[in-house]
Amino acid sequence: MDSRRFYNECESKGFDPQNVAEHIVFSGSKTIKKVFLEGVGNALGPSIQFYKENFVPMDKRKYLDDENFKKNPSVQKSEAKEEQESLDSSILC
């Protein structure tokens, strides 16, 4: 399956090709090969409904492109720790 066909098939089903691609990649090589050979619809079937949303939430994507993180990974660690502590405190309340 070429990228154009993949894109068109996702679009025709009402899905963002980027979101579907992220899910497929994180599903593993078996799923990637199946999509490559059979196409999106045949390979994923009704489970494609779960691929509609972003795999990586938009608010977390900032860490993927953040130049500061690339230069200093401890920045992300401290931000992640703060976020986890915030989540922990909200759970305890």
> What pLDDT shows up at residue 63?
60
Alpha helices in 40-72 (DSSP H): 40-44, 62-65, 67-71
Give pLDDT, residue 81: 63
At 87 the pLDDT is 59
Q: Which two tokens stand for residue 86?
A: 């915030």
Share of the chain above pLDDT 90, in %: 19
pLDDT value for 35: 92
Spell out, as residue ranges, where the chain has pLDDT lower than 50: 93
Q: What is the pLDDT of residue 51?
A: 81
- Pair of tokens at residue 3: 């990228």
Q: Can you tell me the distance from the alpha carbon of 35 to that of 5, in angstroms, rounded to the nearest whole number?
A: 11
